[in-house]
């Protein structure tokens, strides 16, 4: 029988971290805005220390997100950060840029490495390539479908993580697109924020009603999906296939919502682990999530059952 899969959730703050652990998360993804990409929140080293202590006290893990696209200017700061989080006892590091591989090997060789290239982690051969470079896990692209995921797992020499809930990034530019547009309009910004907290979104001319969150940070401009993945109904397919970790993306969501999502997936994973043969998805597991769901955002199967062409 497959080992019980891990349930990982992103945490925006210490407070949220505590709530998500209470709700049943096995692991938390946190990080420093300098090195992470689209993190739910920023953790100082002090907060990182606290969250690691909090998680480890419950037998849970902490993964640091270092998935940024790194310019030369960040390379000087990277080793010290890696060394510091290694000493604090973080369990793993997410990376995309090979510069992070070098820093981990040099500063904290015991740290586990999770390869997360977002939309470009699309096949088993590339995942295994990064496995040979030291990665122990791949975070699969959100644009893969269920067949691709399940057929990939037996071919992987490393663990697989699949995002099962929440929004996904669909466009990332280094340009400051919102600020540029406002400058073009002549709209005064008064140094105002274009960040996550502002609640900015785009609506495409032909798609009224689909709301695409957009925000700026030090990494540029991010546009997010208009729907939230929710694949709990078919979670058992991936548990049966042996996916080792399920991720809940809590970006741009309040804690009360993320905690409800974690509780729901916790229930499903535990029920499956207790009795895989007798397992059946119960619709009411999602009641709480549905009640808290942003009425302007659809819960969807994402790309799990989409056929894409090219």
Partner 1 sequence: MSTMTKPQHKGKRYRLDKPELLAPAGNLEKLKFAVHYGADAVYIGGQKYGLRSNADNFSFEEMREGVEFAKKYGAKVFVATNIYAHNEDVAGIEEYLRNLYEAGIAAIIVADPAIVDTARRLVPGLEVHLSTQQSTLNWQAVSFWKEEGLPRVVLGRETSLEEIAEIKKHVDIEIESFIHGAMCSSYSGRCVLSNHFTDRDSNRGGCCQSCRWKYDLFEDARPDGTWVSEEEQAEAMQSPERLLPGVTQLPLHEPQDNPFTMGSKDLCMLESIPDLIEVGIDSFKIEGRMKSIHYVATVVNAYRKAIDAYMADPEGYVLKPEWLEELNKAANRPLNTGFFYDTPDHEDHIYEPEEKAAPYDFAGLVLEYDAETGTALIQQRNHFKPGQQVEFFGPDDTFFKQTVGEIWDEQGNSLDAARHPLQKVRMKVDAPVAYFDMMRKRK
- Which of 35, 43, 246, 257 touches partner 1 (CB under 8 A)? 257
**Binding of residue 152 to partner 1 (CB under 8 A):** yes
Is residue 161 within 8 Å of 246, Cβ to Cβ?
yes
Query: Does 295 interact with partner 1 (rule: CB under 8 A)?
Result: yes
Phi-psi region of 108 (alpha: psi -120 to 50; beta: other; left: phi over 0): beta
Residue for token pair 């295994």: 128
How many binding residues for partner 1 (CB under 8 A)? 79
Pull the structure tokens for residue 105. 């090997």
70 binds partner 1 per the rule CB under 8 A: yes
63, 28 contact by CB (below 8 A): yes
- Nearest residue to 82 (alpha-carbon basis) of 128, 40, 34: 34
309 binds partner 1 (CB under 8 A): yes
Whose tokens are 């971290």? That residue is 17
Asked if 218 is part of the footprint of partner 1 (rule: CB under 8 A), the reply reads no
**Burial state string for 114-150 with b = 16 or more CB within 10 A and e = fewer than 16:** bbbbbeebbbbeebbebbeebbbbbbbbbbbebebbe
Residue closer to partner 1 (CB basis): 61 or 253: 253
The single residue among 22, 276, 296, 305 that binds partner 1, judged by CB under 8 A, is: 296
Of the candidate residues 10, 116, 163, 225, the single one contacting partner 1 (CB under 8 A): 225
The answer to whether 58 contacts partner 1 (rule: CB under 8 A) is no
Q: 3-class SS at 74? A: helix
Residue 307, interface with partner 1 (CB under 8 A)? yes
Among 14, 84, 202, 237, binds partner 1 (CB under 8 A): 202
Tell me: does residue 301 bind partner 1 (CB under 8 A): no
- 125 forms part of the interface with partner 1 (CB under 8 A): yes
Nearer to partner 1, 48 or 116 (CB): 116
Q: DSSP secondary-structure letter at 293? A: S
User: Of 26 and 67, which has the nearer Cβ to partner 1?
Assistant: 67
- Tell me which stretch binds partner 1 (CB under 8 A): 2-10, 55-63, 112-120, 238-246: 112-120
d(CA 224, CA 132): 32
Q: Is 305 in the site for partner 1 (CB under 8 A)?
A: no
Binding positions for partner 1, 170-189, rule CB under 8 A: 170-185, 187
Shortest reach from residue 280's CB to partner 1, in Å: 25
Q: Which of 215, 147, 131, 230 is nearest to 139 (CA)?
A: 131
């Amino acid at each position: 029988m497959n080992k019980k899969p891990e349930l990982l959730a992103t945490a925006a703050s210490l407070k949220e971290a505590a709530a998500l652990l209470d709700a049943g998360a096995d692991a938390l993804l946190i990080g420093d805005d300098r090195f992470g990409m689209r993190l739910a929140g920023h953790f100082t080293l002090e907060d990182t220390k606290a969250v690691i202590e909090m998680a480890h006290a419950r037998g849970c893990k902490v993964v640091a997100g270092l998935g940024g696209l790194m310019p030369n200017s960040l390379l000087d700061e990277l080793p010290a950060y890696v060394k510091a989080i290694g000493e604090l006892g973080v369990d793993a590091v997410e990376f995309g840029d090979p510069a992070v591989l070098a820093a981990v090997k040099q500063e904290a060789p015991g740290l586990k490495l999770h390869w997360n290239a977002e939309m470009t982690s699309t096949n088993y051969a590339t995942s295994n390539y990064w496995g040979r470079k030291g990665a122990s896990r791949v975070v699969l692209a959100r644009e893969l479908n269920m067949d691709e995921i399940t057929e990939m797992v037996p071919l992987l020499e490393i663990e697989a993580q699949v995002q099962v809930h929440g929004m996904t990034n669909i466009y990332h530019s280094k340009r400051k697109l919102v600020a540029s547009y406002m400058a073009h309009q002549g709209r005064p910004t008064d140094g105002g924020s274009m960040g996550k907290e502002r609640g900015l979104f785009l609506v495409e001319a032909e798609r009224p009603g689909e709301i695409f969150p957009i925000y700026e940070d030090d990494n540029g401009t991010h546009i997010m999906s208009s729907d939230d993945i929710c694949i709990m109904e078919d979670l058992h397919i991936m548990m049966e296939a042996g996916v080792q970790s399920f991720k809940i993306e809590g970006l741009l969501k309040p804690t009360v919502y993320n905690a409800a999502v974690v509780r729901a997936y916790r229930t499903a994973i535990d029920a499956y682990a207790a009795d895989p043969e007798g397992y059946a998805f119960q619709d009411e597991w999602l009641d709480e999530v549905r009640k808290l769901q942003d009425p302007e955002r659809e819960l969807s199967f994402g790309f799990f059952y989409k056929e894409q062409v090219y």
